[in-house]
Amino acid sequence: MSTASYTVTGMTCQHCVASVTEEIGEISGVTDVAVDLPTGAVTVTSDGEVSPDAVRDAVHEAGYQLA
């Protein structure tokens, strides 16, 4: 099991959190996504290593940016 932390900018509401969670959750191997709205902190738990590029692309697809 692997855990990685990121910071996402631009989220302002629970809908934003849901969008980011959904997009990252679709990455192969991801088992859990925890998002803290006030800080923008995102913790991704997965079965193995997940490419930071895949996470960046998922966050971008949701309409946000990695800090």
Domains along the sequence of the chain with CATH: 2-66 (3.30.70.100)
Q: What is the pLDDT of residue 48?
A: 92
Q: What is the pLDDT of residue 22?
A: 98
Q: What is the pLDDT of residue 11?
A: 98
Pairwise CA distance, residues 9 & 5, whole Å = 13
Side by side, the strands of the sheet bearing 41-46 are 30-36, 41-46, 2-9, 65-66
Q: What is the pLDDT of residue 19?
A: 98
Per-residue pLDDT of the chain (67 residues; tens, 9 = 90+): 999 999 999 999 999 999 999 999 999 999 999 999 999 999 999 999 999 999 999 999 999 999 9
State the pairing for strand pair 65-66/41-46: unpaired
Pairwise CA distance, residues 47 & 36, whole Å = 22
Q: Phi, psi (5° rounding) for residue 36?
A: -105, 105
